[in-house]
Amino acid sequence: MDRLKFKETMSRILKQPVDRLADDAVLNNLVTDSFVLIDMVIELQEEFEKFLVQDDLKDVKTVGDLVSAFEAK
């Protein structure tokens, strides 16, 4: 999976510049509303045709964690 394309898609959804989406960026610092994070994951699943279950997300805290979770699928 193309990590840059993934981050560009996240950037569009979150309305955040790509340079704020470093692998060590904490997702809760980027978005304070958990519903926005859930919506983002749903959009990413549709965009990249990879589907995660709740267990895949339990340890996701950073942008890099989220990218890795999608790469593992």
CATH topology for 3-71 is: 1.10.1200
pLDDT at 44: 97
d(CA 34, CA 50): 21
Q: Which of 58, 45, 33 is nearest to 15 (CA)?
A: 33
Q: Are 70 and 52 contacting, i.e. CB atoms less than 8 angstroms apart?
A: yes
Whole-model pTM?
Answer: 0.93
| Span 7-54, pLDDT tens digits | 999 999 999 999 999 999 999 999 888 899 999 999 999 999 999 999
Domain residue extents for the chain: 3-71
Q: List helix spans (H) across 1-73.
A: 3-14, 27-30, 34-48, 54-57, 63-71
Per-residue confidence (pLDDT) for residue 49, from 0 to 100: 96
* Rounded Cα–Cα distance for residues 33 and 69 (Å): 21
